[in-house]
Structure 1
Amino acid sequence: MRFDAVPVPPSVGARPRDARGYPVPAITPWDGDTPQFALTDYERSADCARGRRCSVCGELMPRGPVWRVVGASESAAIAEALAAGRPYRNLAPTLEGPGHRACMLYASMVCPYLARPGARRGLDARTPDAMTEHVVRGAARGASGAVVGFADYEFAITATRVLFRFLDVVEFSPHAESDAHLDELRAELAGRTADMRPAQDGR
């Protein structure tokens, strides 16, 4: 599906766009007039964490669940925990911040790297280390991904990075091709949140 055929959350539609027309997430750094989509801006991410703002649209997230898009390994770990009736909590911190449900459903479908199993990253991390060694040019997303809702998040702001941990899975929506989320996104934008997939479904 073309990115411009995906329904756009109003707050995302108000974001600046790149030369192709892609909305630029709130935490994305710029190099002159060019957004660096594979990277995360430290100050922008810190501001979003402190202000409980969505990492995609930059708008306030109300108290309650938050969402993020996860790749193949974390999606598999969550699915395994849910299938076994165990709670899941990512003990290892991540650089990827939370967002609104609609924003993360949208991002999962529009971001070329997140949307398809064979998609590969186009940029390296600026300072690769143990947390960002997977952010290398040519790295594949993996066979599956998921949009996951969590009851809340924790964060820590160090001298060089913003770290997040997520608490208690409340929704698990896995995908191979993220077009599978199209109906969920349409329902969310229409205010029909009853379409959420409960975590206990294990889907």
Structure 2
Amino acid sequence: MTFGDSRSPAGRGPRSVPKPKRLAHLRLDPRGYPIIAVIGQAPGDIDFGALSERRKLALATFDLCAVCALPFGEELRWQVSVDEAAATAKTLVSSEAPVHEVCALYAAQVCPFVSSPYARHGDEIRRGLKRPEVTFLTGFRQTARVFGRRSGLQTSERVLHFETTDVEQRLRLSSSAEAIDAYQRALQTEVEVTIDEAEREIATRLTELTTEESEDSGSVMAGAAWFVGGAFCPGVGKVQGMQRFAEDPMYTALARRVLLEPGFAKKFEETDDLYTRAAVKWLNSRDHLPKILASWRNTALNRARHGRPSPGKSGGGIDPRKSKRKLQGAARRKNRR
């Protein structure tokens, strides 16, 4: 889900639409559009028309809404579609990360592509094509899988896909009046998203500018997500933008040590990198991990237990403390590269 593309006819201006409370922490662009969690946002380079695969990995790892970057908790995971067959299926596979209902309906108010009947696609594949008149929103109980595979639009690229299942609600919006009514109902029933300090730190790091370099904070957060289990997402190594992590063995070596050595995971909280520290503290403080992350880690654990050598294991004569310091130093340098 993207919005704020200046190439499309305007929907309702963002300043004229009341925001959900859960979007209050998001930064605004000069026009007043909230800078949502799933788009790339390097300083001076906000692209509302493009989804960031690295950010999608972070969202999947920590189980966060693609708009507000807050956890789903017990709320449904909503997907937006203009394809009725896809929207009415029991299971939906989409290259877009799911969102909260109120976040999806807010986007339906301010996103030119969703809110304007005259909006046209702006990407290279569908440029100039008018969107269908009806928009479908489907609320699913769970995200069943996240994996990398070829994009349906650009087959030369691989992107992350989200499989959502267990449909509980459906909305059909065929006019702006219907969209406004649905949004007003969602606003009136919006519940506060209660998060702990570790979850708040993840959301902050993902939605604020980097503190030292002019780099997208989502790219740095993706490296931190890689360490706590994103490395084990099926097909992630070939996904667009992930070569930085997949081709450098240090990233996966650290991820495997965090997975296989609880003591190392605890010590890794001492790293100087704010993003890695936030991710590892979040991991170590969870009583139960999100289903997707738990699945990735369990699969990796099972593979390790069936005869594969423990990655990152120190050989004879190597001081584990020196090894840890070396890995931490490399993580700081490489995750900020």
TM interval, shorter chain, is 0.7 to 0.9
Partner of 1:55: 66
SS at match of 1:139: coil
Measured at CA, do residues 188 and 169 of structure 1 come closer, stay the same or move farther in structure 2, by a change above 3 Å? same
1:105 maps onto 2:99 in alignment: no
Measured at CA, do residues 17 and 109 of structure 1 come closer, stay the same or move farther in structure 2, by a change above 3 Å? same
1:166 maps onto 2:164 in alignment: yes
TM-score by length of structure 1 reads 0.74
CA contact (8 A) 2:79 2:99 kept: yes
* Identity in percent: 26
Mapped to 1, the partners of 2:122 and 2:16 lie a distance apart of 23
TM-score by length of structure 2 reads 0.46
SS at match of 2:80: strand
Mapped to 1, the partners of 2:75 and 2:42 lie a distance apart of 34
Mapped to 2, the partners of 1:64 and 1:4 lie a distance apart of 27
Q: Which runs of 5+ in 1 are unaligned?
A: 82-86, 125-132, 194-203
* 2:102 maps to amino acid: A
* 2:188 maps to amino acid: A
Measured at CA, do residues 150 and 55 of structure 1 come closer, stay the same or move farther in structure 2, by a change above 3 Å? same
SS at match of 1:39: strand
CA contact (8 A) 1:15 1:57 kept: yes
Indicate which of 174, 177, 180 corresponds to 1:176.
Answer: 174
SS at match of 1:121: coil
Mapped to 2, the partners of 1:33 and 1:192 lie a distance apart of 32
Which has the greater radius of gyration? 2
Partner of 1:40: 51
Partner of 1:17: 28
SS at match of 1:47: helix
Which string of whole-angstrom CA distances, capped at 9 and with x for unpartnered residues, describes residues 122-181 of structure 1?
Answer: 343xxxxxxxx4xx4323221211222112123324385221112132111111234423
Q: Which deviates further from its counterpart, 57-66 or 39-48?
A: 57-66
User: Greater helix percent: which structure?
Assistant: 2
CA contact (8 A) 2:14 2:110 kept: yes
Q: CA deviation at 1:28?
A: 0.4
Q: CA deviation at 1:116?
A: 2.5
1:142 maps onto 2:132 in alignment: yes
Q: Which runs of 5+ in 2 are unaligned?
A: 1-11, 150-157, 192-337
Q: CA deviation at 1:113?
A: 0.8
Tell me how many residue pairs correspond in the alignment. 172
Mapped to 1, the partners of 2:28 and 2:13 lie a distance apart of 16
